[in-house]
């Protein structure tokens, strides 16, 4: 979905002049909900002047009223005929200054949990360079000792749909090459929704078809009797014998 111009300034105006929820504003301007809450608290976008989306022909008053009356309503950008057919800007993804310090942690997460992704795919997803990815793969990054793997979606560096799409593309490429994937790799290559719908892999031998638990109750009755007889004959020694005869000979 297209985003408004001057997204942060638009969010500032909506926070100051409307009662729209933080979630609705965040979805409309493409920011994180906590970042919009930070704008309301004065911790984010301090000194940024609000950008009126109504005066700049990006929203209508009816759309704002509908969003204020219904917390589930999603704001829709006003159609601009001049912007139709406009191509998306090519080049590396722009990462805000406040999130650039978290980018190495997201790269480490992708390298660890999605090794099937190429350096080019990771660079396009989180907006980094191939030398940086290579240094993290080889653990030669200057700050590798202090880095922790963090999901780039949680950091706001990309969307879950974008991550799922690039993982699906890597899965199709690996399948075309004829690579053999393990169960763990196959689960990593599916989207989040598909992974949640998959059944858990059996980890006990009893899940194998045809394998049943054997117990004494399954034995035939004849074998049970023979086992009992053998046990009695083993533990109960016969009465009398050569030792008794020797004792009788020694008696006066």
Q: Please give the torsion angle defined by the CA atoms of residues 200, 203, 205 and 207, in that order, rounded to the nearest 10 degrees.
A: -10
Residue-wise pLDDT for 111-149, tens only, equals 999 988 999 999 989 988 999 999 999 999 999 999 999
- Lowest average pLDDT, out of 19-23, 164-168, 242-246, goes to 242-246
Is the pTM higher than 0.75? The answer reads: no
Three-class DSSP labels, 101-133:
HHHHHHHHHHHHHCCCCCHHHHHHHHCCCHHHH
Q: Pull the structure tokens for residue 17.
A: 């002049």
What is the distance between the alpha carbons of residues 243 and 245, in angstroms, rounded to a whole number? 6
Euclidean distance between CA atoms 17 and 241, whole angstroms: 110
- Band (211; pLDDT cuts 50, 70, 90): very low
pLDDT at res. 215: 47
Determine how many CB atoms are found less than 10 A away from the CB of residue 235: 7
What pLDDT is recorded for position 234? Answer: 52
Mean pLDDT (the chain, rounded): 75
pLDDT of residue 106: 92
Taking only the tens place, the pLDDT of each residue in 223-242 is: 444 544 555 555 555 555 44
The proportion of the chain whose per-residue pLDDT surpasses 90, expressed as a percent, equals 17
pLDDT of 207 strictly over 50: no
Here the tokens at position 50 are: 């609000």
**What is the DSSP code (8-state) at residue 58?**
S
């Amino acid at each position: 979905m297209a985003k408004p111009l001057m997204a942060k300034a638009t969010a500032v105006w909506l926070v100051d002049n409307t009662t729209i929820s933080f979630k609705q504003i965040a979805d409309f301007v493409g920011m994180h909900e906590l970042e919009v809450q930070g704008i309301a608290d004065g911790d984010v976008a301090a000194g940024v002047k609000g950008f009126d989306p109504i005066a700049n022909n990006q929203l209508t008053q009816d759309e704002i009223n509908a969003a204020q009356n219904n917390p589930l309503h999603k704001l829709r950008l006003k159609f601009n005929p001049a912007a139709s057919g406009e191509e998306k800007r090519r080049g590396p993804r722009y990462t805000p200054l406040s999130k650039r310090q978290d980018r190495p942690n997201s790269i480490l997460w992708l390298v660890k949990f999605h090794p099937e992704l190429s350096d080019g795919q990771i660079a396009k997803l989180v907006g980094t360079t191939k030398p940086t990815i290579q240094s993290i793969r080889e653990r030669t990054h200057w700050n590798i000792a202090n880095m922790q793997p963090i999901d780039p979606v949680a950091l706001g560096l990309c969307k879950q749909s974008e991550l799922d799409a690039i993982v699906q593309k890597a899965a199709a490429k690996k399948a075309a090459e004829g690579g053999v994937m393990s169960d763990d790799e196959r689960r990593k290559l599916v989207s989040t929704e598909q992974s949640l719908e998959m059944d858990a892999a059996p980890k006990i031998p009893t899940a194998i078809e045809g394998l049943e638990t054997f117990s004494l109750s399954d034995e035939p009755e004849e074998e049970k009797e023979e086992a009992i007889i053998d046990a009695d004959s083993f533990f109960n020694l016969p009465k009398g014998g050569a030792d008794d005869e020797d004792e009788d000979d020694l008696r006066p």
